[in-house]
Amino acid sequence: MWEESFPKAYLDFRTFIMGITGNDDIFPNGMVYKGVYDNKPQYFRGETGAQDSIIPLMDSALGLVYPQNQLTQYLMELRDYRPYTVQNYVYNTFQKSQDLNLREYALQDSRSGYMLLKAMHKTFAFRQLHWTMVKKYIVDNTKYPKATGGTPITTWLPNQMGACLEYCQTIIKSVNPEELEGAEKAEFLELKDKINSQIDSLFNEVQGLQKDYGSQEHEQFTNRSKA
């Protein structure tokens, strides 16, 4: 993708996949689809990775709890655009993980906690790559404050990234590296340092981006309270 695509060209067609909801500057009166919905204006969100299945499924299985803020509410709203069968599958996976107390079970043992940490950090790594693409294709080329799904461009995806890293920090507290052997102990200690650095870097980066954008709901991003 990096070699074959031209980042600035993305803006040539991005408008056509932008959401109506959250993009009042582009769609102040909604969108009329002639011949349907009784020709009444409609308001939908746009294309977004939040409508996929794999990463939310991982979040659900591993027991990730998101901050209770407006940015998380947008995430759940975007997920409503999935087929009902997929929505149910993700929800049921989360419910089963809760019923089985998977998180608590894994944290009873340092090695299983370490494996949980690795899996959770992989979901962060995926989101981090997504965020890198957002910056390269969008942030570097426009100061328009809304993401394609109609969410704040500088805070919405970092909200989920922060949730992953905060969960990783919680897991780290339950792992005793002395109970790990050889390469696993070394990798855990390396990952621990990396995660602490990544969370500081993420929050500093988001803070630094605020001066160039408006309506980013930064106060919601800093609200990291959990249910």
The per-residue pLDDT for 227 is: 60
Q: Which of 208, 172, 204 is nearest to 190 (CA)?
A: 172
Q: Which residues pair with 226 in a beta bridge?
A: 67
Q: CA-to-CA distance for 48 and 65, rounded, in angstroms?
A: 21
Q: CA-to-CA distance for 110 and 112, rounded, in angstroms?
A: 6
Q: For the chain, where are the E strands, in sequence order? A: none
CB atoms within 10 A of CB 7: 15
Q: Which of 123, 14, 106, 15 is nearest to 60 (CA)?
A: 123
- Residue at 133 is within a domain: yes
- Residue at 79 is within a domain: yes
Stated pTM of the model: 0.94
pLDDT along the chain (227 residues), means of 10: 84 88 92 94 89 90 96 92 93 96 96 98 96 94 93 96 98 97 96 97 97 92 88
Question: Is the dihedral angle over the CA atoms 101, 164, 222, 90 positive or is it negative?
Answer: negative
The per-residue pLDDT for 8 is: 85
The gap from C-alpha 219 to its chain's centroid, in whole angstroms, comes to: 17
- Residue at 128 is within a domain: yes
Tokens 């419910």 — which residue?
95
Q: CA-to-CA distance for 24 and 59, rounded, in angstroms?
A: 31
Distance set, CA 152 to CA 26, 112, 124 (Å): 15, 36, 19
- Residue at 14 is within a domain: no
State the residue range of the domain holding 121. Answer: 49-221
The per-residue pLDDT for 220 is: 96
Q: CA-to-CA distance for 117 and 191, rounded, in angstroms?
A: 9
- Residue at 202 is within a domain: yes
- Residue at 42 is within a domain: no
- Residue at 54 is within a domain: yes
- Report residue 67: phi and psi, to 5°: -60, 145
Total domains present in the chain: 1
